[in-house]
DNA sequence: CCAATACATTGCCATTCAGCTATATAGCCG
DNA sequence: CGGCTATATAGCTGAATGGCAATGTATTGG
């Protein structure tokens, strides 16, 4: 999960991940959306790939990127040890969940 | 929250934050726990301070560090838009919670 | 007052990294 | 095939960053 944090620590890469919350997108969408050059976007995508945060598939000319949520889930799990600091609401929820959907 | 991500992207800083999950600690504890020099630890603490992830208070000779959970809560909020990708369990929990503890 | 402890700050070095331009690769279309 | 589009790769540069040793600062204890 540390690789994911490292990858997310760049604002442009975080923006890419945010755009992918809506679904699959071709690389060109990020080039249009971000104020940086195409090769730089391509490099960011490569970093996100290596971190396991995104996956690609080919569609003719284009490369369609989609989110790979696993590292985010890991990050979420790490964060869970801190939720008690701000969220009694969630604590209650988890207690309930464990009863509702045991194991 | 981006400043927090940046700060957490270093493994030693993440280790410090992890240690603080248990409560307040003097700076020296991190020096003992990490395989890096005291000045380097001090620099990491300074970065965490600037990111708002930790707060300090003086206790005689020592500086007692504690977690400031606000940036982690922000990160948690950002992550929430992705939970649907891996956690139907949590979705169910939240639905329940909204009924149980409305608003 | 003096030595010791705990921590921060300074100054340096090597590495990493985001950015760019230029170029390569691959698929599409006429 | 030839040109166009979409993306990746290579090569470079400057800035940021983590590491260290040396030094500064403040507090405690004798």
Query: In sequence order, what DSSP letters do the residues of A69-84 get, joined into one string?
Result: -HHHHHHHHHHHTTGG
Neighbours of A45 (CB within 10 A): 20
Tell me the Ramachandran region of residue B23: left when phi exceeds 0, alpha when psi lies from -120 to 50, beta otherwise: left
pLDDT of residue B88: 65
Mean pLDDT over A52-63 rounds to 96
User: What does the pLDDT look like over A10-45, one tens digit per residue?
Assistant: 999 999 999 999 999 999 999 999 999 999 999 999
Residue located via tokens 């945010």: A18
| Residues 21 through 80 of chain A touching chain B, CB cutoff 8 Å | 21, 67, 69-70, 72-73, 75-76, 79
The CA–C1' separation of A44 and D1, in angstroms, is 35
- Look at residue A86 in the predicted model and tell me its pLDDT: 84
Contacts of A62 (CB under 8 A, 6+ apart): A26, A27, A28
Residue A1 has a pLDDT of: 81
Q: State the average pLDDT for chain B.
A: 89
Nearest to A30 by CA among A19, A43, A46, A22: A19
Strand D: list positions under 7 Å from protein Cβ: 5-11, 17-23, 26-28
Instruction: Work out the burial of residue A93: count CB atoms within 10 Å of its CB; fewer than 13 is exposed, 13-18 middle, 19 or more buried.
Output: buried
Contacts of B56 (CB under 8 A, 6+ apart): B45, B49, B63, B64, B65, B66
- Please give the backbone phi and psi of residue B71, each rounded to the nearest 5 degrees, phi first: -65, -30
Contacts of A4 (CB under 8 A, 6+ apart): A51, A52, A53, A71, A72, A74, A75
Q: Cβ B11–A21 below 8 Å, yes or no?
A: no
Nucleotides of C under 7 A from a protein CB: 5-11, 17-23, 26-28
| Residues paired with residue A55 on neighbouring β-strands, in sequence order | A66
In the sheet that B62-67 helps form, which strands lie side by side, from edge to edge?
B25-26, B62-67, B54-59
pLDDT reading at B92 higher than 70: no
pLDDT higher than 50, residue B60:
yes
**Minimum-distance CB partner of A5 among B9, B83, B92:** B9
Whether the beta carbon of B45 falls within 7 A of nucleic chain D: the reply is no
């Amino acid at each position: 999960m540390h690789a994911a944090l490292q990858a997310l620590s760049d604002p442009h890469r975080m923006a890419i991940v945010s755009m992918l919350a809506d679904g699959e997108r071709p690389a060109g969408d990020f080039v249009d959306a971000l104020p940086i050059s195409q090769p730089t976007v391509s490099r960011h995508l490569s970093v996100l790939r290596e971190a396991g945060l995104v996956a690609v598939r080919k569609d003719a000319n284009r490369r369609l990127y989609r989110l790979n949520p696993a590292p985010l889930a890991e990050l979420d799990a790490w964060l869970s040890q801190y939720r008690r600091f701000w969220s009694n609401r969630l604590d209650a929820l988890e207690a309930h969940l464990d009863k509702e959907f045991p194991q």
